[in-house]
Amino acid sequence: MDINKNISLNIELLKHYINHKVLKTMQTKVDSVNKSLQNGACPGNDYLGWMDLPFHINQEELDKLLKVADEIKNNADYLICIGIGGSYLGAKATIEFLSSPFKKEKILFLGHHLGSDYIADMLDYVKSKNIYVNVISKSGTTTEPGIAFRIILDKMKSWFDDPKKIKQRIIATTDKQRGVLRELADAEGYRTFIIPDNVGGRFSVLTPVGLLPIAAMGYDVNALIEGAKSIARLCKENNSVLDNPVLTYAVSRYLLYQHGKKIEVLSSFDPALQYIGEWWKQLYGESEGKEGTGVFPAGTIFTTDLHSIGQYIQDGERILFETFLNIAQTVKNVKIPDTNENRDGLNYLAGMELAEVNYQAYRGTALAHYSGGVPNMTITLPEKNEYYLGQLFYFFEYAVAISGLLLGINPFNQPGVEAYKQNMFALLGRPGYEDLRKNLLSS
Ligand code: PA5
């Protein structure tokens, strides 16, 4: 890995919508929101702990975390991670990004939905296995992981004869003082890791929320932190809309939104990036989508989706812009073989690396979408590793803070998530929700 290389952004195919001159006109506005972010004076400023997180990771806490990660690595058949939203997607995305799809990682995820068959099948699958459980919830009160933890704990009581064995295998990641998970962990004597008060769920991948599962799967969390640190430094030092790609990206998507481009499609040509797309959708959807505004984040994996939703992108309603996420260097090379007969007519590709074919598919797609009225830009990671992933995480976090503030909203809350919860509690008969229940049942 060459740490002099960095994540980069190419905005060539935004031309006719956005160019350097237009970007420059945004500098004063960006200076103002950037300053309010850096000085902690923006809306939601009690949730800015993510900004300095890469610089302030406590070495003693990290050593403790790495020790527990080693214990899991050495003893567990499976680590079951229980969590939803920001307490799930960072670890899931990282592990999917770094591992081979054919290597069965020793991690299973639970509590990110209420699917009955999924939970029943998992319980059946792990019942005779040596499991560790990492239950992750900042609030400690979220229903989906709460139910999943209750179910698994109940099963563990029948699987393990000695309560000490259960205690040894449960690690809780939660708030340092508040929430039922904290109370439960303290009462039962589980080992715990703390999610800082001032870091919101979707910005928490560099806290124990993400770091413990990622380290337990054997990935290099120090490199992840270093990568994030390099972009955090860049954002502290460089406030130029033209020269800092994080700001260029944030401002471009803001301006495209003003042009009526209401949907951003994050498109990639490597299936390893699928869950990075899911993480990004959560980060952008929850941060920006409020008060009747915000770009809607969607995701595709090409070339697969060029044979499905690609039709809409090329030819449907012109409300889209696209951000391609590319990796410059593949880890492994595959050459296309030559044949004497050339019955499939593919000999014109013989001897070519598959990565080159994929790259030309990307170029062809970017140009086609641009001429079809979908302006697009490209973020490129030099390689697929922890360091550049750390850069990408911080890149997207900082950019959504800027674009959210440009929209005039608080990017760090998620009031809209409450609506379904209230209705669900009422419909399930939770005490205190009687009036709402009556209203819902009569409507
Ligand atoms: O980004 C967020 O704040 C949310 O997506 C939360 O991460 C999610 O709702 C889970 O919350 P908690 O960790 O409190 O269980």
Q: Which two tokens stand for residue 84?
A: 């939803």
* pLDDT score of 4 more than 80: no
C-alpha distances out from residue 340 to 334, 349, 354, Å = 19, 13, 20
pLDDT number for residue 292? 95
For the chain, give the percent of residues with pLDDT over 70. 99
Catalytic residue flag (residue 421): yes
Determine if the peptide bond prior to 248 is cis (ω within 30°): no
Domains of the chain by range and CATH?
8-43+223-406 (3.40.50.10490), 50-222 (3.40.50.10490)
Sort strands 263-268 and 296-301 into parallel, antiparallel or unpaired: parallel
Let me know if 129 is a catalytic residue. Answer: no
* 417 band by pLDDT with thresholds 50, 70 and 90: confident
* Residue bearing tokens 């229940």: 437
pTM score, whole prediction: 0.96
Please state, in angstroms and as integers, the Cα–Cα distance from residue 14 to each residue in 240, 301, 323, following that order: 18, 21, 10
**Cα of 200 to ligand 1 centre, how many Å?**
7
Per-residue confidence band for 2, with pLDDT thresholds at 50, 70 and 90: low
Read off the pLDDT of residues 299-316 as tens digits, 9 standing for 90 and up.
Answer: 999 999 999 999 999 999
* Sheet containing 263-268, strands listed edge to edge, beginning at the edge strand earlier in sequence: 8-10, 376-383, 320-329, 263-268, 296-301
Confidence of residue 87 (pLDDT cuts 50, 70, 90): very high
Residue having the nearest C-alpha atom to atom 15 of ligand 1? 137
User: What are 322-362's pLDDT values in tens digits?
Assistant: 999 999 999 899 999 999 999 999 999 999 999 999 999 99
| 95, 272 contact by CB (below 8 A) | no
| 96 catalytic residue (yes or no) | no
Q: Closest by alpha carbon to 48, among 57, 37, 56?
A: 37
109's enclosing H/E stretch is strand 107-110
1 pLDDT higher than 90: no
Whether residue 421 has pLDDT greater than 90: no
In 3-state terms, what secondary structure has residue 107?
Answer: strand
Residue 60 tokens read as 């003693």
Atom of ligand 1 nearest to the CA of 84: 10
> Given a cut of 60, is residue 183 above it in pLDDT?
yes
Q: What number is the average pLDDT over the span 188-212?
A: 96
Q: Nearest CA to 91 among 231, 282, 332? A: 282
Q: 123-143 as b/e, with b when 16 or more CB fall inside 10 Å?
A: eeebeeeebbbbbbbbbbebe
Q: Are 269 and 358 in contact (CB under 8 A)?
A: yes
Q: Is 80 exceeded by the pLDDT of residue 3?
A: no
417 Cα nearest atom in ligand 1: 9
